[in-house]
Amino acid sequence: MPDQDCQLKVLITREEIKNTVAKLANEIKEDYRGKHPLLIGVLKGSFVFMADLIRQLDLPVEIDFIRLCSYGADMKSSGKVKVVQRLKTPVKGRDVLVIEDIVDTGLTLSFLLNYLRRKKPASLKVCALTDKPSRRKAPVSIEYLGFTLPDKFIVGYGLDLDQKFRNLPDICVFEDDESS
């Protein structure tokens, strides 16, 4: 985990994010034309991305949010995930698109996809802004992906370190992050 007092350095600028969100929205629009998808944002990190993405989708989208947390002795790698805030919208028969800020080990997303599959959606896909594939522990497929990143801890654009930095408009890394 990086030291919060280190200098922040911009890794992905707000312009790059804007262009990538537009590109993802175009792909989603093409694929969901004539449909009424249910977008499920994974709290808290995805709220900024979700807000920007849906404003570029001229589709009759519906949104809901779910909040998950990892638990167990080893928080980071236990793979035990639980739902701490449930969906309010029925998923059965819906075209569901999960909106994630980041896929790291994939354990959270893998849990969520299994959880949603049991609710029998008509279709289930994933849109993730960022991915750190070198950290993967559970295989997951991401149909719409923004950025593939190295193993660095990122903050900003909704992503936090200890609940801080979510408000940064760019995606940043810590200068002395030696996690890679």
Beta-bridge mates of residue 102: 130
Q: Which of 95, 104, 176, 177 is catalytic?
A: 104
Selected from 41, 45, 121, 146, the binder of ligand IMP by CB under 6 A is 45
* Token code pair at residue 118: 């049991």
- Quick note: the x/- pattern for ligand IMP over 159-178, rule CB under 6 A, is x-------------------
Question: Shortest gap between Cβ of 173 and ligand IMP (angstroms)?
Answer: 8
Pair 159, 131: CB distance under 8 Å: no
- Cα 90 from Cα 95, distance rounded (Å): 11
* Token code pair at residue 98: 């999960």
Q: DSSP 3-state assignment of 95?
A: strand
Selected from 38, 39, 66, 102, the binder of ligand IMP by CB under 6 A is 102
- Cα 25 from Cα 112, distance rounded (Å): 22
Report if residue 154 touches ligand IMP, rule: CB under 6 A.
yes
Name the segment binding ligand IMP (CB under 6 A); options: 3-11, 86-94, 114-122, 151-159: 151-159
> How far is it between the farthest Cα atoms of the chain?
49
Residue 104 annotated among the catalytic residues of the structure: yes
Q: Which residues are catalytic?
A: 104
Applying CB under 6 A, the residues found at the interface with ligand IMP are 45, 102-109, 153-155, 159
